[in-house]
């Protein structure tokens, strides 16, 4: 079940009615949210419910034991239980097949043929997200930044809350868990704001991301384009992944608001960034701050000298690549960002306070967007060989005529909508979404327009699954 499916739009009103009927009884509301979340997650494969339930129980018990154990030695041991279980589960389901393939390839390189039992593991949807969410809870309790939760239902609801369960934002226990342990106020304002975010997110996904996917899929296909048309295909993928992922986040945040729950913003208009430091403060914010707080700083951050700091930065980028998938193409994607980010880091450019955007920043923003698009080639390609082929295509046939299928794919309506989308993004980036809504998004006509456009585009093109479901 996903956000743009018929099943979800039957499921959501039922859950909302049950939740609102139980107004004033927040513990029973948690039961409704927990059952609904497990139903939502089990829709893909009910067997995976054992994994999320196991992670929930282990970290709940670890939190309780951390509060009861005065010995630092035993507290570290209990934290180790949480780390071993969650990282072990993530490692098995996400990386076992990759490691076996690398083992076989390494021996083949020295002329030894290996024939191990093939490891075929199905990747549970959202496992990278909820394991990080439960880990942050155990680590924060260990660091004594919060008291452990002793309400298993509230804790399980925090872990499995369905709007952000399978693709984030990755919430911290210090922010989301308190909202599961007390009454939540659902007002007309929160419902209106939630519905607006949902409509905006659906528009991003169906109209922008799925339409851009048409170009990206052909460009990265076996009979892909060359020269400037291949560049268009790469930019189309950049548009697709932003519209897809930020659209999902907007729908998740908006859906949570219908229940009186606030989730953190996950995207802050990253393609207007003037350098990579700014880009990573604006792209997938919940994951990047997680790596900062639970990997970069524990490794020593910038406290142990410049050389160690550069090493820590490189580790974070490479681990971020691996987090996205067990493939060398993701490691390369992380390495490209690391190589381009380190000079900025060494000169202190990544720590400059953000100032008001000015038109003189356009060249820097275009350069940053170009670097990001170059890295997206490795992210989108099937493998490193395919990425190299895509780069070769970009380098050749710049004087060639438009491919025969390019005109057929062209859509004047989509280009008009895309330009309008960029303008709206710019206005929100420059003046803020509240300014935009106060100025002219004051009635239901904008939401109705977004829904109509989503229906129109959704009926005329194939639906694409959310990209980050694969991670």
Residue 158: its pLDDT value, please?
Answer: 95
Q: Which element (helix H / strand E) includes 192? A: helix 188-202
Q: What is the pLDDT of residue 247?
A: 92
Nearest to 262 by CA among 252, 276, 248, 273: 252
Angle between helices 362-380 and 384-395 (to 10 degrees): 130
Are residues 270 and 221 in contact, defined by beta-carbon separation less than 8 angstroms? no
Closest CA to 352 of 281, 426, 267, 303: 281
d(CA 303, CA 141) in angstroms, rounded, equals: 24
Question: What is the 3-state secondary structure of 346-372?
Answer: HCCHHHCCCCCCCHHHHHHHHHHHHHH
Give the Cα separation of 326 and 324 in Å (integer): 7
Catalytic residue among 25, 324, 358, 386: 324
For the record, the structure tokens of 47 come out as: 């067997």
- C-alpha dihedral sign at 437, 441, 443, 445: negative
Q: Torsion over CA of 305, 308, 311 and 313, rounded to 10 degrees? A: -50
**Cα–Cα distance, 385 to 270 (Å, whole number):** 28
* Spatial CB neighbours of 66, under 8 Å, sequence gap ≥ 6: 75, 78, 79, 138, 141, 142, 148
Between CA 333 and CA 300 the distance in angstroms is 24
Angstrom distance (rounded) from CA 68 to CA 199: 46
Any catalytic annotation for residue 358? Answer: no
Q: Within the chain, what is the greatest distance between any pair of CA atoms? A: 73
| Tokens read off for 41 | 């997650």
Distance CA 432, CA 430 (A): 6
Measured in whole angstroms, the distance separating CA 405 from the mean position of its chain's CA atoms is 32
What pLDDT is stored for residue 105 in this prediction? 63
**What does the DSSP assignment read for 65-121?**
HHHH---HHHHHHHHHHHHHHHHHHHHHHHHHHHHHHHHHHHHHHTT----PPP---
Give the C-alpha separation, 432 to 269, whole Å. 11
Other beta carbons less than 10 A from residue 185's beta carbon: 8
**Within 10 Å of residue 93's Cβ, how many Cβ atoms?**
19
By C-alpha distance, which of 370, 376, 365 is closest to 278? 365
Q: Are 316 and 296 in contact (CB under 8 A)?
A: yes
* Sign of the dihedral through C-alpha 36, 38, 42, 44: positive
| C-alpha span between 139 and 291 (Å, rounded) | 13
How big is the CA angle at 220 (ends 216 and 222), to the nearest 5 degrees?
135
Would you write out the chain's pLDDT as a tens digit for each of its 471 residues?
A: 788 888 999 999 999 999 999 988 999 999 999 999 999 999 988 888 999 999 999 999 999 999 888 888 999 999 999 999 999 988 888 877 666 666 566 656 666 665 555 556 677 888 889 999 999 999 999 999 999 999 999 999 999 999 998 887 999 999 999 999 989 888 888 898 899 899 999 999 999 999 889 888 888 887 778 888 889 899 999 999 999 999 999 999 999 999 999 999 999 999 999 999 999 999 999 999 999 999 999 998 888 888 899 999 999 999 999 998 888 899 999 999 999 999 988 888 777 777 778 888 889 999 999 999 999 999 999 999 999 999 998 888 787 677 776 655 566 677 888 888 888 888 888 777 766 666 666 667 778 888 888 888 877 777 777 877 777
Smallest Cα–Cα separation from 273: which of 381, 206, 349, 335? 349
Is 444:191 a contact under the CB 8 Å cutoff? no
């Amino acid at each position: 079940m996903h956000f743009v499916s018929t099943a979800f739009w039957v499921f959501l009103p039922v859950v909302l009615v049950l939740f609102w009927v139980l107004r004033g009884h927040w513990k029973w509301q948690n039961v409704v949210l927990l059952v609904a979340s497990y139903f939502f997650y089990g829709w893909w494969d009910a067997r995976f419910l054992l994994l999320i339930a196991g992670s929930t129980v282990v970290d709940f018990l670890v939190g309780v034991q951390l509060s009861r154990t005065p010995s630092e030695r035993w507290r570290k041991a209990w934290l180790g239980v949480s780390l071993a279980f969650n990282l072990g589960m993530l490692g098995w389901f996400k990386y076992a097949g990759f490691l076996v393939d690398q083992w076989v390839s390494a021996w083949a390189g020295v002329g030894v043929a290996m024939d191990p039992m093939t490891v075929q593991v199905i990747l549970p949807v959202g496992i990278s997200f909820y394991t990080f969410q439960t880990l942050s809870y155990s680590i924060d309790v260990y660091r004594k930044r919060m008291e452990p939760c002793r309400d298993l239902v509230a804790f399980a609801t925090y872990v499995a809350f369905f709007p952000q369960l399978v693709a984030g934002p990755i919430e911290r226990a210090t922010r989301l868990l308190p909202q599961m342990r007390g009454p939540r106020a659902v007002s007309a304002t929160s419902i209106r704001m939630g519905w607006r975010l949902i409509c905006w997110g659906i528009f991003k996904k169906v109209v922008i991301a799925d339409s851009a996917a048409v170009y990206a899929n052909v460009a990265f296909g076996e009979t892909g384009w060359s020269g400037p048309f291949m560049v268009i295909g790469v930019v189309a993928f950049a548009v697709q992944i932003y519209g897809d992922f930020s659209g999902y986040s907007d729908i998740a945040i908006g859906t949570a608001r219908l229940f009186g729950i606030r989730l953190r913003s996950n995207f802050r208009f990253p393609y207007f960034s003037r350098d990579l430091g700014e880009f990573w403060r604006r792209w997938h914010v919940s994951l990047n701050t997680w790596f900062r707080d639970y990997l970069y700083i524990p490794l020593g951050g910038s406290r142990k000298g410049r050389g160690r700091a550069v090493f820590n930065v490189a580790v974070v980028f490479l681990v971020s690549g691996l987090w996205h998938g067990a493939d060398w193409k993701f490691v390369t994607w992380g390495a490209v960002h690391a190589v381009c980010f380190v000079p900025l880091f060494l000169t202190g450019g990544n720590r400059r306070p953000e100032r008001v955007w000015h038109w003189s920043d356009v060249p820097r923003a275009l350069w940053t967007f170009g670097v990001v698009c170059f890295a997206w080639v490795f992210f989108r390609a099937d493998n490193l060989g395919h990425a190299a082929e895509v780069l070769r295509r970009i380098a050749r046939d710049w004087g060639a005529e438009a491919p025969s299928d390019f005109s057929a794919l062209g859509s004047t309506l989509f280009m008009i909508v895309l330009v309008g989308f960029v303008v709206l993004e710019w206005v929100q980036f420059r003046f803020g979404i509240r300014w935009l809504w106060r100025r002219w998004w004051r009635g239901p006509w904008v939401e109705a327009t977004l829904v109509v456009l989503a229906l129109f585009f959704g009926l005329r093109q194939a639906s694409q699954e959310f990209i980050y479901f694969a991670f």
